[in-house]
Each structure stands twice: as structure tokens, then as C-alpha cells.
Amino acid sequence: MRQKIVAGNWKMNNDLKESLKLISEVANMVTDEVNNDAVIIVAVPFTNIYALDQWKSGSEVHDKVKLAAQNCSWEESGAYTGEVSARMLKSIGADYVILGHSERRQYFAETNAQLAKKVDLALTHELIPIFCIGETLSEREKGIHFEVIKGQLKEGLFHLIKSVFRTVVIAYEPVWAIGTGLTATPEQAQEVHAYIRQLIAEGYDEETAESMSILYGGSANPSNASALFSQTDIDGGLIGGASLKSRDFTDIIKTFNA
């Protein structure tokens, strides 16, 4: 069985106090209402990871809720003012790191080649990459979305040897669906997820393809999560806006309740 995952990407939201409030609300609701074995991840600003890890260590959700960073440097250490390394993130309690989010690709001009280096460093320091791929609206309108996704996957991840590749989480986030309220239909999302799995089968093998968790992201919310997550090749979600509301985020996690 592939691991089910619901990850919240808080993006650049929540100061320390707000972060502690939100995580404790989520923790309470998860403890009371969630009865499934989905991994819950919150990807929070760098500044809040340490405090949330400390808070979590005394809480019931210690093992259930994992922390992620939203980016890391492609360098190990050194004179890179303003950067944060994978090793630093691991040392303060992060278990995962989102890499290649479309906002990083778009606003910070991150390339697949840079992302491949980030992936390597994250894995070296035992941070699991949540590697984001997805096409823009114009790429979809031109009908080149499959090509775009293939390039992102091949250049960003396919250099990994199989045993390492298998530990990565992939998130398909069509850029046109992020923060727009325009969700991919379950069928559109399923079509791309199946394609991603097919590429993995071709690049590695069928068993590897079947073992990988592939998340959907883009305007996912409590109303559409169940239709999306019930698709054969969708193993959970990477949730933006709705992860900032404890009720909505918990309701999305509860989609996997029996």
C-alpha cells in the first residue's frame, strides 16, 4: 500500500505566535477526529520550524505530524548570504522539504538543474523532498503539459538511483490551479498522476512506480478532496490556503477516515 499523505504548505504566512496557535488547533482536532494512518505534514516558514518541533515533542501528535521546510539551499554551506542549508533544517526538526514549488520556480527563477542539486543535498541530510511539478495555464493550453512534466521529473529527480528515488514524494500542482480556486477536475488530475507513474515505470520499474506517493495540489479543499483522493493514482494532497484553517485542514485529512 502506498503511503497516504496530507501536507499543508503554509507558504509565507503565520508569525511564531500564529504558528503555535494553528498547530495546536490542528493537533487537537487530529487527536479527536482523525482515525486514519495518513502522514500529516506541515511545511512552515524557516523561522518557525524549531519552535514547532519543540512544541510537538511534548504533544500527542509527536509522531503523527511531521515538519517540513519550504525550500533549502543547493549548497552545503559557505558564503551564501541569506540561504538555509539542508543540514541546518534537519538539525532543528524538519523531516521533509518542499522543493521546486511553482512559486519558487516562478518568482525565484529556480531551474531543474538547481533543484536536482537541492534534492541531492536534502537526501544527504535525510530530509525527504516533496518535489513539485506542474504546468502553467499557457503550457496546458498549448497541449505541452505532459512534455513539461516529463522534463521537470527527468531533470530534477531521475538522476537518483532507484533505492533513493523511492523515498521521494512527488506533488503534481498545476500552476493554473494554485490559489485560483480553479481545481483540476479529478479526471484531469488522475490523467497526469497516471502519466507520472508511467514515466517512473519507464525510468525505473513498475514496482517503483506503484510504491511512490504522488500528491495533488491546487485549490484543494474539504469539498473536493474526497473526489480527488479517491482517484487511483492520487495518494493525498499538498494543501495551500485550506491548510491555514485548522477546521478545513483537518476535514481534508479526515477524507481518509474509514
What is the set of active-site residues?
101, 173
Of 99, 241, 248, 253, the one binding ligand 13P by CB under 6 A: 241
User: Residue 134, interface with ligand 13P (CB under 6 A)?
Assistant: no
Stretch that binds ligand 13P, among 19-27, 173-181, 222-230, 250-258 (CB under 6 A): 173-181
Our CA angle for 52, 215, 46, nearest 5°, is 25
Return the bridge partners of 43, or none.
Answer: 9, 68
Q: How far is the CB of 8 from ligand 13P (least distance, A)?
A: 8
Q: Within its chain, how far is the Cα of 229 from the centroid?
A: 15
> Closer CB to ligand 13P, residue 9 or residue 204?
9
User: Residue 238, interface with ligand 13P (CB under 6 A)?
Assistant: yes
**Binders of ligand 13P in range 76-115 (CB under 6 A):** 101
Q: Which residue is nearest to ligand 13P (CB)?
A: 240
Report the alpha-carbon distance of residue 26 to residue 116 in Å, rounded. 33
> Closer CB to ligand 13P, residue 165 or residue 216?
216
Task: Tell which residue, 107, 211, 111, 188, has the closest CA to residue 151.
Answer: 111
> Closer CB to ligand 13P, residue 52 or residue 178?
178
Return the bridge partners of 238, or none.
Answer: 7, 217
Size of the site for ligand 13P (CB under 6 A): 14
Name the burial class of residue 117, with classes exposed (0-12), middle (13-18) and buried (19+) by CB atoms within 10 angstroms of its CB: middle
Of 179, 185, 202, 257, the one binding ligand 13P by CB under 6 A: 179
Phi, psi of 176 (to 5 degrees): -70, -10
Phi, psi of 170 (to 5 degrees): -110, 140
User: Residue 173, interface with ligand 13P (CB under 6 A)?
Assistant: yes
